[in-house]
Amino acid sequence: MIKINENYLKLKASYLFADIARRVTAYQHANPEKEIIKLGIGDVTRALPKACIEAFHRAVDEMSSDTTFKGYGPEQGYPFLRKIIARQDYQSRGADIDPDEIFISDGAKCDTGNIQEIFSADTRVAIPDPVYPVYLDTNVMAGRTGDFNDGRYHGIYYLESTRENGFIPELPNQPVELIYLCYPNNPTGATISKEQLTDWVRYAKENKALILYDAAYEAFIRDESIPKTIYEIEGAREVAIEFRSFSKTAGFTGTRCAFTVVPKTCMAYDRKGEKHPLLPLWNRRHATKFNGVSYPVQKAAEAVYSPEGKVQVKELIGDYMKNARLIRKEMTGLGYECVGGDNSPYIWINGKQDSWDFFDMLLNKAGVVCTPGAGFGKCGKGYIRISAFNSYENVQKALKRIRLVL
């Protein structure tokens, strides 16, 4: 008798954003004349930067001739991309990262979801609340939790991000081994200071733990004092893996390109307590289960680092940040407490009511899609998240409708 992985039965029936998409589609069917403005899932709306498109085209042309055609590429990514990332994203900020510590992939969602495979099944995991659901769901699938009761999975240590702690969780008060952190944060938009991140790195070192640092939104940081990478913190090379993505930085949500940094000095232990570097394990996993991002997509990603690409990306992000500032200003003006929107494309709003009710009200009365905070965890109850990914005109229109409704 073929048996299922019963851990899947512990999960909520569908993934948060799939659930929201279903509600929006149902509303659209029932109200075909209504125009909906989507400020829910963080999906970019602007075209790829011109430098990326041109590089993409050139690379596609290379595929049309036998002499320049590329078949399978290296699973870890082409050296041209790994080198430029190491130089521009890390070495230029004093972070000592080598190209061969960078693994190109098709998304930070997949990488943050897959990375848990290289750790023991009985790893004690600390996960933020509220949280990007992928970290939690993939650990549930892997059997690291018990059942779901009262908004929580048994066996997970929840790092609560609340108004009281400024949306930066306290260090764990019991031993944990694998710690997920995401800054600028999805969903709260909060950022972490160098001092706070230093405390986490120290905790990881003292407890032989490992930090999985999701920095997918680093490009939105405006304040120079905020760390853009965990490797700006001394000692992080020994205790942290970092995830980055071109999705929000350069509009690659549909094009797919991201990367994971696993420093050679990053270690974990076997059951006898012997140290092992994580890079060969991740390399083994990656090479076995992944066949590389397509050559044209990697060429398009490389163009993000060209002089023109950098200007265009800055403009793109600047436009989304203009939306973010407007959303925060308007919602604050309407009397709602807001976090984020200054160094992040997400604005986390205390809706002062059930977050699914708030979501339904904005959808049904204003035709605006947001994300209910409760979908990100128990601490998200009462909040909604509004994303800055849309045109300025649509954001203005959405806010006008929201003003009328509220």
Query: Smallest distance, Å, CB 207 to ligand MLT?
Result: 29
The neighbouring-strand residues paired with 339 are 348
> CA of 165: how far to CAs of 112, 221, 278, 345, in Å?
25, 21, 32, 21
Binder of ligand MLT out of 11, 21, 36, 41 (CB under 6 A):
41
Query: Smallest distance, Å, CB 368 to ligand MLT?
Result: 15
* Residue 114, φ and ψ in degrees, nearest 5: -85, -25
Instruction: Give the C-alpha separation, 42 to 385, whole Å.
Output: 10
Closer Cβ to ligand MLT, 36 or 41, answer by number: 41
Query: Smallest distance, Å, CB 47 to ligand MLT?
Result: 18
- Residue 346 corresponds to which tokens in the numbers above? 């997400």
Instruction: Give the C-alpha separation, 16 to 22, whole Å.
Output: 10
Letters for 43-62 (x = contact with ligand MLT by CB under 6 A, - = none) are: x-------------------
281 near ligand MLT, judged by CB under 6 A: no
Angle, nearest 10°, between helix axes 392-405 and 307-333? 10
- Residue 137 corresponds to which tokens in the numbers above? 């769901």
Q: Using CB under 6 A, which residues numbered 306 to 365 contact ligand MLT? A: none
21 near ligand MLT, judged by CB under 6 A: no
Query: Smallest distance, Å, CB 135 to ligand MLT?
Result: 11
* Strand, coil or helix: 132: coil
Instruction: Give the C-alpha separation, 77 to 98, whole Å.
Output: 13
- # residues contacting ligand MLT (CB under 6 A): 6
Asked whether 398 and 43 are in contact (CB, 8 A), the reply is no
Letters for 102-121 (x = contact with ligand MLT by CB under 6 A, - = none) are: -------x------------
Closer Cβ to ligand MLT, 86 or 104, answer by number: 104
User: Is there a cis peptide before residue 130, judged by omega within 30 degrees of 0?
Assistant: yes
42 near ligand MLT, judged by CB under 6 A: yes
Query: Smallest distance, Å, CB 248 to ligand MLT?
Result: 7
* Strand, coil or helix: 344: coil
Closer Cβ to ligand MLT, 18 or 311, answer by number: 18
Closest CB to ligand MLT belongs to which residue?
Answer: 42
The neighbouring-strand residues paired with 126 are 157, 179
**Cβ neighbours around 256 below 10 Å, total:** 18
186 near ligand MLT, judged by CB under 6 A: yes
38 near ligand MLT, judged by CB under 6 A: no
Span of 35-43, 171-179, 320-328, 331-339 interacting with ligand MLT by CB under 6 A: 35-43
Which residues sit at the interface with ligand MLT, rule CB under 6 A? 41-43, 109, 132, 186
